[in-house]
A and B are shown apart, each in its own frame.
Chain A
Amino acid sequence: MTNMKKPSFNDTMLILVFAAAILAMPLWLDPFGGNYPDLLQKFAIYGIFAIGFNILFGLTGYLSFGHAAFLGVGSYAAVWSFKLLTMNAIPAVIFGVLFAGLLAAIIGFLSLRRTGIYFSILTLAFAQMSYNLAYSVLTPITNGETGLQLARSDPRILDKLFSDGPASAGLPSTELFGETMSGYPGFYFCAVLLIIGFYISLRIFRSPFGLMLKGIKSNQNRMKYTGLNTRPYMLTAFIISGMYAGLAGSLLAVTDPLAGAERMQWTASGEVVLMTILGGAGTLVGPMLGAGLIKYFENIFSSFDDSVLQQAFSFLPDSVLEIVVPVVGLFVGSGWHLTLGLLFMIIVIFLPGGLVEGFRRIFNYFTSGGGKAETQSVEAHNQAGE
């Protein structure tokens, strides 16, 4: 996939198309019922999470099953920043990334002593310990099951320093230099960070560092006998990817200042694994697509109840309607998990390589050419086309 002589023109195009597609999401998601701030924010945030995860898993092949811990720590750090320092989003994001990076350094240092499934279980164990402690014993720091929330009585030292007016009656909201970070502004904030994150990921993919990581994935033994110390490379990749997760976690808190412990549970770790594989591990835009698809299902498909179906199929005669609605109802609304499960199976059975592979096939079908050189443009195409 690395094309040495490829002029960076293509990458520039890719970034531009990607940025345009992300910023235009409110437009093109509207017909799909996906245009509302919360979902758009989730797309961007989980996109960041998945892109970061892909730097570890896609490049090095190390499957971490504990990335949710970094997401959670990012959230907690951000909410504490809101509580103690200021409602401004910037310090929250910085703290989220830093603390997640710190935790990633510790967990990575220990877990990277092992490879393969042993590594996966070590990361899983660390994350589950974090989750269980956050849920119970660490409640003074995490507020347990309910999740860490803002309170009017929080110190917010910096905010108090710079404003002398009395606090407003309600809770303050997160802001970026006066702009409230919920709703569409929050989305654009996340989107900009997503684009930056994507750009960094692209640069890593195209850098000698990225090449080394791919080398580790391909043949760790040869890497060692090539004179390369694989541990620091791995640890760096792990920390970077943990920092992406921390960024995503802090953005979750920025757009909605509540940090719950279940963000760290293994199911959350599993979700990002599924997103990445579903979209296409090791591809640039795949994880982002996977994240979008899963979040779309979770938020939109789960909302199709019988009354919605009745409306959607109201063009059918009543007798048909009576059959169609319950049957379709099995797969949407409370049955949305079933559809998701089926989707996982169908995609992995028919499209090894994930969604990106699917788009590539479609693209190749139409151009009836295909080959390595087209990879990048195909990916760019995917972005625009989705």
Chain B
Amino acid sequence: MGDLVLHLDNINKSFGGLSALSDVNLHVEEGTTHAIIGPNGAGKSTLLNVCIGRLKPDTGKVTFAGEVLTGREPHEITQLGVARVFQTPEIFQEMTLLENVMIPAFSHRDGAFRLNANKLLSKQGEIRDEAEHILEDVGLKDMMLTEAGSLSRGDKRRLELGMCLILRPRLLLLDEPTAGMARHDTNQTIELLKKIKSRGMTKVIIEHDMHVVFSLADKVSVLARGQIIAGGDPQSVREDPKVKEAYLGGAH
């Protein structure tokens, strides 16, 4: 496949003496979907937070497409082409779906800060068209003038995905995109993620649901007690005895 685009080198992170990540090394190939799995408390979310700059690792660094991410502001990281879907959808609850998607559209077009105070929103035709297009992609166009807070959880997740997609990221981080969803919603989300797979962006997914993992992932890394214990293509990971012991064996 393509070149390695995301590098996590020797990441250590501990919270008050409790080690959450110890010496994690992870390399993600461009254009692939890379799943990180592991039992509860394995440090998956911590890992993602380190990637996105929310947490600063004690040692080690994160590099994306040649740029060091560690220590950067969230908006800088995002402007470098990294987008994130959170475990609980982070959307603009009081605003319409259209507005929800238009804000990232501006960010994509104008960068981290552009005043735009002398322009009228109603004259921003191309931004609006783009937003409607994305909403159509995630299947929410019909509701574009409703308030985001009134959506179902699955729809909120799709909206958030749309907000990330409009940024045209090179790397998309997804934190349990189907957590707490009904089977129907989960399947829909899988379909959606499969659809966007064809756009060639790199994705890192944290997921519990093995059904989701094995439908989407090109590569899987297994995290347990803050360490990567196995990695490779889904099939080999599935058969790795260490993984079975640490995770699958115990769980199923």
Contacts and interface: CB of A to CB of B under 8 A. Distances in A.
Direct contact between A and B judged by beta carbons closer than 8 A: yes
A4 B128 contact: yes
A211 B114 CA distance: 12
Nearest to A231: B113
Interface string A192-224: 000000000001101111111011011101111
Given A5-B122, A215-B92, A228-B75, A203 B107 contact: no
Interface string A216-240: 0111011111111110110010000
Given A227-B75, A227-B104, A214 B119 contact: no
B93 A227 contact: no
A211 B116 CA distance: 10
Contact of B112 (A3, A208, A229, A236): A229
B90 A219 contact: yes
A207 B119 CA distance: 5
B73 A204 contact: no
Contacts of A209: 115-117
Contacts of A230: 75
B122 A211 contact: no
Interface stretch (B7-15, B31-39, B76-84, B239-247): B76-84
B117 A204 contact: yes
A233 B166 CA distance: 21
Query: Which of B74, B103, B115, B145 has the most CB atoms of chain A within a 10 A radius of its CB?
Result: B103
Contacts of B93: 218-219
A218 B94 contact: yes
A57 B91 CA distance: 20
Contacts, number: 113
Given A203-B117, A224-B78, A228-B112, A8 B90 contact: no
A218 B103 CA distance: 12
B147 to A, nearest CB: 9
Nearest to A229: B112
Contact of A215 (B103, B119, B124): B103
A208 to B, nearest CB: 4
B74 A225 contact: yes
Q: Give the interface residue-count category, chain A.
A: 35 or more
Interface string B89-106: 011111110110011101
B20 interface: no
Contacts of B52: 225
A52 to B, nearest CB: 14
A227 B107 CA distance: 6
Contacts of B163: 222, 226
B91 A222 contact: yes
A281 to B, nearest CB: 13
A2 interface: yes
Nearest to A200: B117
The dominant DSSP class at the A interface is helix
A8 B78 contact: no
B102 A8 contact: no
Interface string B158-202: 000001000100000000000000000000000000000000000
Contacts of A211: 99, 102-103, 106, 121
A227 B108 CA distance: 8
Nearest to A282: B94
Contact of B95 (A3, A218, A224, A228): A218
Contacts of A221: 90
Contacts of A113: none
Interface string A257-291: 00000000000000000000000000000000000
A203 B118 CA distance: 7
A209 B103 CA distance: 10
A344 B87 CA distance: 41
B120 interface: yes
Given A208-B106, A209-B115, A214-B95, A4 B84 contact: no
A212 B93 CA distance: 14
A380 to B, nearest CB: 17
Contacts of A6: 122
A216 to B, nearest CB: 10
Contacts of A228: 75, 103, 106-107, 112-113
A227 B82 CA distance: 9
B150 to A, nearest CB: 13
Contacts of A2: 96, 99, 121
B78 to A, nearest CB: 3
A209 B121 CA distance: 9
A227 B78 contact: yes
B91 A219 contact: yes
Contacts of B90: 219, 221-222, 225
9 contacts: A4-B98, A4-B121, A207-B121, A208-B121, A215-B92, A215-B95, A226-B103, A227-B167, A228-B75
Interface of B: 52, 73-75, 78-79, 83-84, 86, 90-96, 98-99, 102-104, 106-108, 111-113, 115-122, 124, 127-128, 145, 163, 167
Complex A-B, nearest 5 residue pairs according to Cβ-Cβ distance, in ascending order: A227-B78, A208-B116, A209-B117, A218-B92, A224-B74
Given A215-B99, A222-B92, 19 more contacts: A4-B121, A6-B122, A206-B122, A207-B116, A208-B116, A208-B119, A208-B121, A209-B115, A210-B117, A211-B121, A212-B106, A212-B116, A214-B95, A218-B95, A226-B103, A227-B78, A227-B79, A227-B111, A229-B75
